[in-house]
Structure 1
Amino acid sequence: MKIRTRLTLLFTFITATLMVFYGIAVYYSSSKAREVSFYAQLRTEAIAKANLFFQSTLSEKEMHRLYKNNTKTLNEVQVAIYDSEFNLIYHDDSKVDYIKENPEMLSNIFRNKDISFFINDLQAIGTVYSHNQKEYVVTAAGYDQYGYSSITHLLTISIIAFTCILILIYLAGIFLSKKALNPLSEMVSQIKRITAGKLQLRIKTTGEKDELNELAQNFNGMLERLENSFEAQKHFVSNISHELRTPLAAIITELEIASEKEQTNKDYRQTIKSTLDDARNMARLSNSLMDLAKASYDPNEISFSELRLDEVLLESYTKTIKENTEYKVSLNIETDVEEHQLIVQGNQYLLRVAFNNLIDNACKYSPEHSCSIIIKNSDKNLHISFINTGAVIPQEDLQRIFEPFYRSDISRKEKGYGIGLFLTEKIIHLHNATIAVISENNKTVFTVLFELNPDFSPDR
């Protein structure tokens, strides 16, 4: 069922329910008002008939004739009068006695002075009437034909009006829901035109501050992120294909040459050495890509634990020196850095990869193959600086240094794939930290800033 139909039916159902409750309330109050009004009319008729009986010159026979004449045209109220001894002294028509009074009822009327009750469809009252210092019971009963006709007419009109209004509300609901959801229908039509090859298309937005416009804006934002992601993926795949194709082509060429002609043992060893170098390059690239994939995970899927940054740095530069014996790395922690300030919530493996890349990058581009690591703190941050001396990085390259697969003219002289710094930045951001680079005066400094936790207690 479409939303438009559901909204129309729901709107109609709610309105119908409210109208039913309103109709019941009106009908009930009107019925009660008719009942009270007719009881008052019965009392008036009873007192008037008693006055006529006791104070007028009309005989009882004339009063009977008057009653019978009125019943031919009106629903005349039937009145009876009893004395204190429960003796009947007057009755409009004793042959057709509506109330059928008994001593118990008359005693109740004397006791309560005034009562009212129903006898099937008839309403009746009993009241005490005083005349010449004597008390009499006057009863009156009648059928409120006019009142019941009015109530029945009201009910008929209400049912007809309810049916007509319900139909009009349903039609109005269809019109209003169609008008209200028309922008959504247009949005669906526009979305259908957006495909993987047309991610540049956008949904039209308006200046209205409503939910549909907010939905369109957020959807356009999602499309923009998807488009950027697709472009980055295409760029990534293109670069990976290029980087893998080069060592694979070299390996294939060297093995084909070695298999097609006889070579000396020295030549075979050289071929094997070259093939191993290309294979190691592919392994390094594969490891970098695996690390990049891990750093791209949802943060909720990466396990974080409490660890010390100085210990991770020690592991990183120990591993780097072991793999590159010509590298020289020093670690200096300033005296004002307290032990608890070095503790963060992080992933040890990913941080070690990031620090490895920064140390390797510093040593690789330093003429002395050296890197100096300095840890210091400020009011709110812990600073970890990776410093090397040598040729500075041009300003135009600094702006793109963290882009994937970007390599400046200086970096092309060294082996690499342009993944390291991009991967490092992702890992640093994953740990809610920032990284910045300054390259001037024959010195390049990469600085990682971890925010100090003000709630951390050194005694815990």
Structure 2
Amino acid sequence: MKFKNALSLQFTFMFAFLLFIVLSGIYVIVEHNRSKSFFNKLDERAMIAGQFYFAEDNLPIKLFRKVSEKFPQSLSQESISIYNDQLQFKFMPEDSIHWKRSFLQEILKKKNLHYKSGDRQVSGLYYEDNSGNFVVVVSAIDERGFEDMDQLRIIMSAFYVASLFITFFIGRIFANISLRPIVKITANLKRIRSSNLHRRLSINTAKTDEIDMLSLTINQMLEHLEQSFDSQKSFVANASHELRTPITSILGEAEITLMKERDPETYKSALKEIVSSVERLNLIINSLMELMQTNLDNRDFQNVKVDELMWEIADELAGKSNGDQVRMGYHLPEDITKSVISGNRRLLFIAISNILKNAVKFSEGKTVDCEVRYIDKGIQITIRDQGIGIAKDDLIKIFQPFFRASNAMNFQGYGIGLSLTDNIVKLHNGTISINSVLEQGTTIVVFFPTA
């Protein structure tokens, strides 16, 4: 079933339920008023009957029947009975109903009593007169009222059925109008392909409603998809180039060496060049594997003490000739729980060590400061170097895979480290920011929420 039909049916069912409640309430109120009005008529009839009977000093039954038929208000199948306070009948036409003693005693007790027996309504009245006290019982059937109620039921039923059909068609019109923006969005989305991801849905900036919020959310998703596609294209192109370079070098070196007979030293030199290229190729492949692992959202998390992790990274750097360039500073609270983050220890090691290695590499022997502190329910790691810096135009691209700043071409590297670090930081719900000035240095701030 189409959504607009389902919406129309839901709208119709809701209206049907509400209309049924309203019509039922109206019918009950009208029926109550009919019954109450007819009881009032019976009360008046009982009072008139008593006054007429006692005023005329016990008219014969036949004469009373003829006179009663001339009453201004004639009731259908009317029955009038009069009893004294000893419950002995004083006046009762031949076709009158004989009432039980218990019912008459109830009238004596309550003075006035209303009672229903099927369609017949009964009114009992305690009548006081100078000649004694009496009980007057008048009953009749409100045939005219029942006819009116039958007509009302027919009218309500016809109105109810007709209203449901009208409501369904109105619901379809309403559903079409309501879904028109969704249909428009769907039609526009069908035109968007991988070749034109730059297209966006139109948004009414004058008034932002739920449809505009949906369009805005879809536009944000399209923007992320476009960035992902562009990054993927850039990644594939750069990866192909970076992998092709060492492979070409290996093939070229091997082909040149095999062109003719060489002396042992030439073969050794060629093999060393091949080994160097293979090592470079292996480093690129390992970096790509690590980058892929972070993209796969590896959540093998555990509690990691930041100070211990930084000591391990510092020990690794100390094992190299330029390890003494890094100056570590710790500002962590005594509460151990405030220096623990939840994460993948190996990936966190790679992320932070990549930043420190870059800082050392581009500082060209100058000191690199690394400060670790607890702030705003998280761990902030600040790394400052005095290196070559990064141009403003390059900062927005610095986290793209294989991207290298224009002033970094003379340094060894493949442009994977910061992209890998950015993925790892995001995987751990952290943030990373870079502030850099050319020829003055770079400051990178990484923040991780504590466990």
**Is residue 332–residue 374 contact of structure 2 (8 Å, CA) maintained in 1?**
no
Q: Is the 8 A contact 1:307 1:348 kept in 2?
A: no
* Structure 1 residue identity aligned to 2:445: V
Give matches, 1:305-454, under 5 Å.
305-309=303-307, 311-320=308-317, 322=319, 325-333=320-328, 343-345=339-341, 346-365=343-362, 367-368=364-365, 371-375=367-371, 384-387=382-385, 401-428=398-425, 430=428, 432-439=430-437, 444-448=441-445, 450=447
| Counterpart for residue 237 of structure 1 | 236
Q: What is residue 210 of structure 1 aligned with on the other side?
A: 209
Classify the secondary structure of the residue corresponding to 1:86: coil
Unmatched 5+ stretches in structure 2: none
Contact kept in structure 1, 2:389 and 2:442, CA below 8 Å = no
Q: Which position in structure 1 is the counterpart of 2:222?
A: 223
TM-superposed CA distance for 1:328, in Å, is: 4.5
Shift of 1:132: 2.0
| Distance in structure 1 (CA, Å) of the matches to 2:303 and 2:348 | 12
Structure-2 separation of matches of 1:83 and 1:131: 11
The question of whether the paired residues in 1 share the 8 Å contact of 2:23 and 2:156 is answered with yes
Provide the C-alpha distance between the structure 2 equivalents of 1:279 and 1:235, rounded to a whole number of angstroms.
Answer: 24
- Equivalent AA in structure 1 for residue 346 of structure 2: Y
Please state how far the C-alpha of 1:10 moved relative to its aligned partner.
Answer: 1.1
Provide the C-alpha distance between the structure 2 equivalents of 1:171 and 1:297, rounded to a whole number of angstroms. 50
User: d(CA) in 1 for partners of 2:290 and 2:71?
Assistant: 108
Q: Which amino acid aligns with 1:414?
A: F
Which residue does 1:290 correspond to in 2?
A: 289
TM-score by length of 1: 0.84
CA deviation string 1:401-446 (max 9, x = no partner) = 5543233454222322122233334445656354435456x65344
Matches of 2:126 and 2:391, distance apart in 1: 116
More displaced 10-residue stretch of structure 1: 185-194 or 82-91: 82-91
Task: Decide whether the 8 Å contact of 2:333 with 2:374 is kept in 1.
Answer: no
Aligned to 1:35: 35
Q: Please name the residue that 2:136 is paired with.
A: 138
Q: Specify the code of the residue in structure 2 equivalent to 1:202.
A: R
Cα distance in 2 for partners of 1:295, 1:217 equals: 28
Q: What is the alpha-carbon distance in structure 1 between the residues aligned to residue 395 and residue 39 of structure 2?
A: 99
Amino acid at match of 1:289: L
Bigger mean CA offset, 210-219 vs 260-269: 260-269
TM-score normalised by L of structure 2: 0.85
Deviations 1:87-120 (A, max 9, x none): 33222x31x23x2124443333333322222233
Structure-1 residue corresponding to 2:114: 116
Would you say the 8 A contact 1:70–1:76 is kept in 2? no
Change beyond 3 A, Cα 1:161–1:344: same
The answer on whether the counterparts of 2:382 and 2:446 sit within 8 Å (CA) in structure 1 is yes
Letter in 2 for 1:113: K
Deviation at residue 57 of structure 1 after TM alignment: 6.9
Amino acid at match of 2:195: G
Q: Which residue of 1 aligns with 2:199?
A: 201
Deviation (angstroms), 1:282: 0.9
Q: Are 2:17 and 1:9 equivalent residues in the alignment?
A: no
Task: Tell me: CA distance 1:359–1:49, structure 2 relative to 1, closer, same or farther (3 Å).
Answer: closer
**TM-superposed deviation, 1:303:** 1.7
- Contact 1:45–1:77 (CA under 8 A) maintained in structure 2: no
Using the alignment, how far apart are the partners of 1:335 and 1:226 within structure 2? 40
How far 1:216 moved relative to its partner? Answer: 0.6
Give 1:159 shift: 1.2
Separation in 2, partners of 1:88, 1:400: 112
Go from structure 1 to structure 2 and tell me whether the alpha carbon gap of 1:105 and 1:431 turns closer, same or farther (over 3 Å shift).
closer
Distance 1:219 1:276, change over 3 A: same
Letter in 2 for 1:226: L
CA 1:394–1:74: 2 relative to 1, 3 Å? closer
The within-5 A match list for 1:41-60 is: 41-56=41-56, 59-60=59-60
- Taking a change above 3 Å as real, the CA distance of residues 266 and 351 of structure 1, as seen in their structure-2 partners, is same
State the SS of the aligned residue for 2:409.
helix
**Cα offset, 1:36, TM superposition:** 1.7
Question: Does the Cα contact within 8 Å between 1:425 and 1:435 map onto a contact in 2?
Answer: no
Distance 1:439 1:209 in 2: 40
Pair 1:256–1:164, CA change in 2 (3 A) = same
Q: CA deviation at 1:244?
A: 0.3
Residue 277 (structure 1) shift: 0.8
Whether the 8 Å CA contact 2:389–2:436 is kept in 1: the answer is no
**Higher alpha-carbon deviation: 278-287 or 197-206:** 197-206
Residues of 2 paired with 1:432 and 1:195: CA distance? 33
Q: State how far apart, in whole Å, the 1-side matches of 2:89 and 2:345 are.
A: 110
Query: SS state of the match for residue 89, structure 1?
Result: strand
What is the alpha-carbon root mean square deviation over aligned residues? Answer: 3.3
The residue type equivalent to 1:182 in the other structure is R
Does the 8 Å CA contact 1:247/1:278 hold for their aligned counterparts?
yes
Q: Is this contact kept in 1: 2:327–2:367, CA < 8 A?
A: no
Query: In 2, Cα distance between the equivalents of 1:340 and 1:330?
Result: 30
More moved, 11-20 vs 248-257 = 248-257
Contact 2:429–2:448 (Cα < 8 Å) also in 1: no
Is residue 87 of structure 2 the alignment partner of residue 86 of structure 1? yes
Cα displacement string for residues 182-205 of structure 1 (whole angstroms, at most 9, x for unaligned residues): 111111111111112221222222
Q: Is the 8 A contact 2:363 2:385 kept in 1?
A: no
Counterpart Cα distance in 1 of 2:202 and 2:315: 56
Task: Describe the shift of the 1:431–1:270 C-alpha distance in structure 2 as closer, same or farther (beyond 3 A).
Answer: farther
Distance in 2, Cα, partners of 1:45 & 1:262: 140
- CA–CA distance in 1 between the matches of 2:59 and 2:390? 132
- Rounded to whole Å, the distance in 1 between the matches of 2:404 and 2:425 is 20
Which shows bigger deviation, 21-30 or 397-406?
397-406
Q: Which runs of no fewer than 5 residues in structure 1 stay unpaired?
A: none
Report the Cα distance in structure 2 between the residues aligned to 1:344 and 1:86, rounded to whole angstroms. Answer: 98
Asked if 2 retains the 8 angstrom alpha-carbon contact of 1:80 and 1:88, the reply is yes
Q: Which amino acid aligns with 1:329?
A: D
The 1:340–1:433 alpha-carbon spacing in structure 2 relative to 1, beyond 3 Å, is farther
Residue 339 to residue 290, structure 1, CA distance change in 2 (3 Å): farther
Give the match for residue 303 of structure 1: 301
Shift in Å at residue 84 of structure 1? 3.3
Paired residues of 1:306 and 1:344 also in contact (CA < 8 A): yes
Q: Is the 8 A contact 1:255 1:271 kept in 2?
A: yes
**Further displaced range: 240-249 or 80-89:** 80-89
